[in-house]
Structure 1
Amino acid sequence: MDRSLRSAAADGQAADHRGELTPSREIAEKAWFAYADRGRVSAVDRMVFDALHEAGRLL
């Protein structure tokens, strides 16, 4: 499946990606997470999940 992604970097610049996302090198797998998966991630990721959830951007 071809997916197009657009994300914003910390400096406000946007990055585009087209194609299939695939794990490589230090990334063992890819997965889509919801807030219910919070227990599966690291402590720093839980902080990000909480902020996204409070902002209504992670269900």
Structure 2
Amino acid sequence: MTEFIKRFFGFKSSKEKKSDFSAFFHDASAEEQKEVLMRVIKKANEDQRKVIEKYDKQMTHVR
């Protein structure tokens, strides 16, 4: 239970290592974070559009 409480309030044990993901958000500049997040958002948006286009094509053949 104490470990849960420590994690809940953001306390880390000295045993825990930083992941690359958390290190990026901790160490990168705000500008770099914004740039990377914008690239991720654009890529996710592209992927979602492709899924919708594929679905639309399938539905036109069904009708």
Give the TM-score taking structure 2 as reference length.
0.24
Q: Which has the larger radius of gyration?
A: 2
Greater relative contact order (Cα < 8 A, sep 6+): 1
Higher share of residues assigned helix = 2
Higher share of residues assigned strand = 1
Give the TM-score taking structure 1 as reference length.
0.25
